[in-house]
């Protein structure tokens, strides 16, 4: 892609096609809505059929969203055949693929002590949180290289710091960071595809009704994060042509604040 085409792509994202996994709740849902509002076409992929149906109904009632701009898919991202179908359905429906947001992840009810955790539970966390990046990226790359697209992996500050009994989740998210810089090295020079990660901190997806003053005060910016804080960063990375192999921590400065108990 020459410089003129790169500049054009940076200036206008309208019409770009994105897949967002874990797309019908939490950060994923907010991201899909955010991108649709800005003219993207979005494949919303999630394993939760009930949430998929509810979100699809919401979007159909939203007069600001073109009914042809979104595609809702029931997908278990740890299942290879379902991932292949997800990529194929997206490209058949929209004609291209520009952005892959690997957002799907699980934690609860897998937060347990290592002695109590079942091996199948450990493997389930790894399959959804980490193996899915391999599957989704593998089948997306042939299409992303046609558009000089981008992959954005959602990691977590748990990859950098921990609480007790979070070994499975933290390990999976640490793997996301390693996968990100490794893949950026592999497919950037070869295909022009950029790969980055975002590590969200405390992101409230409930609307804030249960948050306390002490929760907000743990952040340098004075508040707990919202899903839109991550959506903004995702759109930045979509257009940031000189950024790849990076992990952007979006946590309101929480991991930089030393907290002492009096």
Q: Which of 34, 110, 169, 191 is catalytic?
A: 169
Alpha helices in the chain (DSSP H): 3-11, 26-37, 49-61, 80-94, 119-126, 132-147, 167-191, 213-217, 227-239
Alpha helices in 192-243 (DSSP H): 213-217, 227-239
Find all residues with CB under 8 Å of 17, minimum gap 6, and list them: 40, 41, 42, 43, 90, 94, 95, 96, 97, 98, 99
Return the residue matching tokens 């899903």. 227
Helix or strand (DSSP H, E) at 151: strand 150-154
Per the DSSP assignment, residues forming a β-bridge with 77 are: none
In our burial notation (b when 16+ CB lie closer than 10 A, e otherwise), range 37-53 reads eeebbbbbbbbeeebbe
Gap between the Cα atoms of 184 and 256, Å rounded: 27
Gap between the Cα atoms of 22 and 25, Å rounded: 7
For residue 109, whether the previous peptide bond is cis, meaning omega lies within 30 degrees of 0, is: yes
Q: Is 110 annotated in the active site?
A: no
Gap between the Cα atoms of 29 and 249, Å rounded: 20
Residues 42/71, Cβ–Cβ less than 8 Å? yes
Catalytic residues: 169
């Amino acid at each position: 892609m020459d410089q003129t085409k790169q500049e054009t792509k940076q200036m206008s994202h309208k019409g770009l096609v994105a897949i967002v996994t874990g797309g019908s709740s939490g950060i994923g849902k907010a991201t899909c809505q955010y991108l649709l509002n800005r003219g993207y076409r979005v494949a919303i992929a999630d394993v939760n059929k009930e949430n998929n149906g509810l979100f699809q109904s919401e979007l159909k009632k939203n007069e600001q969203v073109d009914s042809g701009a979104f595609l809702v898919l029931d997908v278990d991202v740890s299942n290879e055949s379902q991932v292949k179908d997800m990529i194929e359905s997206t490209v058949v429906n929209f004609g291209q693929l520009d952005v892959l947001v690997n957002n799907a992840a699980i934690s609860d009810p897998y937060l347990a002590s290592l002695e109590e955790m079942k091996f199948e539970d450990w493997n389930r966390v790894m399959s959804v949180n980490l193996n899915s990046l391999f599957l989704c990226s593998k089948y997306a790359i042939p299409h992303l290289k046609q558009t000089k697209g981008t992959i954005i992996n959602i990691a977590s500050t748990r990859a950098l710091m921990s609480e007790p009994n979070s070994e499975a989740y933290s390990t999976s998210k640490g793997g996301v960071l390693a996968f990100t810089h490794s893949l950026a090295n592999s497919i950037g020079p070869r295909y022009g595809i950029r790969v980055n990660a975002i590590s969200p901190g405390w992101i409230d997806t409930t609307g804030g009704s249960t948050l306390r003053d002490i929760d907000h005060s743990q952040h340098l910016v004075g508040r707990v994060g919202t899903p839109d804080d991550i959506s903004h960063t995702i759109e930045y990375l979509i257009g940031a042509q000189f950024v790849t192999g990076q992990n952007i921590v979006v946590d309101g400065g929480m991991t930089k604040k030393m907290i002492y108990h009096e």
